[in-house]
Amino acid sequence: MAKEKNQKSMEETLWESANKLRGSVESSEYKHIVLGLIFLKFVSDTFEERREKLLAEGKEAFIDMVEFYTMDNVFYLPETSRWSYIKQNAKQDDIALKIDTALASIEKTNPSLKGALPDNYFSRLGLDASKLSSLIDTINNINTLEDKGHDVVGRVYEYFLGEFALAEGKLGGQFYTPKSIVNLIANMIEPYKGKIYDPACGSGGMFVQSLKFIEAHKGNKKDISIYGQEFTATTYKLAKMNLAIRGISANLGAVPADSFFKDQHPDLKADYIMANPPFNQKEWRGVNELLDDPRWAGYEVPLHQMQTTVGYFTWSQNSLKMASQDLFSPREA
């Protein structure tokens, strides 16, 4: 119990330190800076741990071979993408550019991270170099390898997502569903094995909690396949980073996309569908768009303005199209 309190204190301390450095940057923008740096610290720590292990095993000839990292579910990092390099150059005026270059190199070297990392974000925002340097010092205090059993970096990431959502108010709901709600959904549907789908996956919280449910019940996370979509480009990146730091493989589609207009999983038949979609989305389609869509077969075409009842119907019909027949078997019913 004491460990839980200490862990919480660490999360709060990091948040307070990071938030003080925000300055004039909007919370909606700042979260990508902070979470991007946490991700960079984590992947660098795991890379260095794997590298040291290879050296200890007398495999020095292999320490720069990408496959010797990917085989252990570790991302390979070029030298200028490692946290040690970023920390060493934190006081430089061009540190924002160095971070952007580091993230771009990581994404290029690791195909599974394609489209996941902030793209020239640090340079574009023009955050004061001294504030960025102080933020790097703050995040440097996160020991991501200290206690893997308690998922330190995952907890910090989740805590920061929640705090950013609170700071953004109603807009925070676009990328974050409160943990209590996600936990309730996961416990209700009990996703032990099969395919999970979220048509509006936000930052990936539903997927994370599903995997936690499986682990808590001594299941095997390899029995689950994860599919999702997210329309907002920056939130799509948050989801991919959130899942990557937890070692969760997922198919979120090749690009950010609207589930109604660009279905990236047309043949999917999911065993579990969980979502907290934008039910009050206005003008979700043009007046003459999607009129013959098979999702409305046998029903009236939903209004192009998504009031609450229209939203429930529209998203429900979209989900039903993706559902496996087993979802409606008498046993499950």
What residues form DSSP beta bridges with 198? 228
In three-state secondary structure terms, 214 is helix
What residues form DSSP beta bridges with 251? 227
Residue 303 vs residues 262, 289, 295, 308, 313: alpha-carbon distances, Å: 19, 11, 14, 11, 10
What single letter denotes the amino acid at residue 279? F
> What is the spatial distance between Cα 131 and Cα 118, in angstroms, rounded to a whole number?
19
Please, how many CA atoms are within 13 Å of residue 136, restricted to the half-sphere of its CB? 24
Domains of the chain: 2-171 (1.20.1260.30), 175-328 (3.40.50.150)
Residue 173 has a pLDDT of 67
DSSP label at residue 42: H
> What is the spatial distance between Cα 97 and Cα 86, in angstroms, rounded to a whole number?
11
H-state helical runs in 140-200: 152-168, 179-189
**Beta strand ranges found along 20-98 (DSSP E):** none
> What is the spatial distance between Cα 100 and Cα 76, in angstroms, rounded to a whole number?
17
Give pLDDT tens digits for 209-224.
999 999 999 989 889 9
pLDDT of 11 higher than 70: yes
Residue 144 has a pLDDT of 82
> What is the spatial distance between Cα 326 and Cα 198, in angstroms, rounded to a whole number?
17
Give me the mean pLDDT over the 47-51 stretch.
96
What is the greatest pairwise CA distance in the chain? 68
How big is the chain by its Cα radius of gyration, in Å?
21
Residue 332 has a pLDDT of 45
Give me the mean pLDDT over the 1-11 stretch.
55
Give pLDDT tens digits for 148-161.
655 678 888 888 88
What residues form DSSP beta bridges with 273? 197
Residue 1 has a pLDDT of 45
The pLDDT > 70 percentage for the chain reads: 86
Residue 331 has a pLDDT of 42
Residue 14 vs residues 19, 128, 181: alpha-carbon distances, Å: 8, 19, 25
Give pLDDT tens digits for 85-137.
999 999 999 999 999 999 999 999 999 899 999 888 899 888 889 999 999 99
Crossing angle of helices 129-139 and 27-56, rounded to 10°: 50
Nearest to 198 by CA among 319, 294, 295: 319
- Taking a C-beta distance cutoff of 8 angstroms, is the pair 169, 146 a contact? no
**Average pLDDT of the chain, as a whole number:** 85
pLDDT of 314 higher than 50: yes
H-state helical runs in 173-329: 179-189, 205-216, 233-244, 308-322
Give me the mean pLDDT over the 155-170 stretch.
82
